[in-house]
Chain A
Amino acid sequence: MTTQMTSNVNPLMRVIKRIDFATYAPLIALVVLFIASSIASEYFLNARNITNILRQVSYTGIIAIGATFVIIAAGIDLSVGSMVALVGVVTMFAINSIAGDVGGVFFGIAVALVFGAALGAINGVMVTKGRVTAFIVTLATMSIFRSVALYLSDAGEVVGNNNLYPEIGGGYFMGVPFPVWVFFLLAVFAHILLRHTAYGRHVCAVGSNPNVARYSAIPVERVIFLTFVIAGFCVGVSAVLLSSRLNSVAPGDMGAYFELDAIAAVVIGGTSLAGGRGTIVGTVIGALILGIINNMLNLLGVSAYLQGLVKGLVILIAVLLQYKNNK
């Protein structure tokens, strides 16, 4: 009798115990937040509002996807915000230097992606070959990139003269803003890269224990280097979408605090700042959570000055929960 009881109870208990609540915590938080927001504000579920949130989330979300790779490999990239500005400025110059609209757009996009990846490569080389910690390297390049962007543009707004370019950032496909599509497709691609390719596996191994990776014949430095290149590439994508939306770049403001938003999205999504574990799905959810919180603060009329406070608190809570789970 007793044995029967335990055999009935145990499997169920085991299943419940095995469910890793940490994995689903971000998703649960998103759902709760979504429901709470729909109740709190009648405008929240408005199609235009939702579209707006998604669009806002896309710019930093795309950068957060790149940051996920860097952070899983136990690195950090603080330079992404400044990098957006620098890539944006250079991209606008590139587009304006081409006479034809179509040619300009293609050239601009190519420049943005290549230049973004190249700036990421600079970070990557300094971290791997220079053996300087990522925090210091990207803190320095954060300052450098912003400074160069301001210098190149004379600290003034760079306005585009291409008529087709604004269509990218402002365009829709099947009723969904173009940047959202890009964010979605990039997320799918990044998810596959992280979960289903050797490179993604290597990123996790390197972030968890670089020495084990070295003994396992993984090219540790190349793996780390490439995470920064990926981060730079994502910055390039985001720079195109942002600059084309307004068809102009303000080098002082563009991308300001994007590093904060990106890292926040990654951390809220459950990726460990210590490296070794994390998911793209989590990062996307994290970005959405941040976007909804921002939107709700606006809808509820909370002072814009307090939004940074709320964001900071959310990051702290997410990290606290992570540490608690690791104990």
Chain B
Amino acid sequence: MKALLLSALLLASILVARPAAAEEPASEDAPSAVEERSAAFRAVSGPETESVPGGPLLIGAYLALWGLTLGYLLRLGKIARGIEADVESLRQALQKVDDDVR
């Protein structure tokens, strides 16, 4: 009888303890929401049924990347040509002064 009572008590303690353990808050070592999200590239929003083709988006991104870079290189070229033109006009103006002095 004593053994039966002890067994019942043990079973009851297990049944009570399990749900209690499940309700415990996450420990401090557990990853935060940010870390958990960052560990995987999971979609977080957007319609489930829509299938967005990745190819055109990828091509668009790389076109933008190299298009903007090329555009900036052209701008640098324009600045360089402007500097050359300024140097030439300054040189001609000073040459004219030099000729007038002579």
A binds B: no
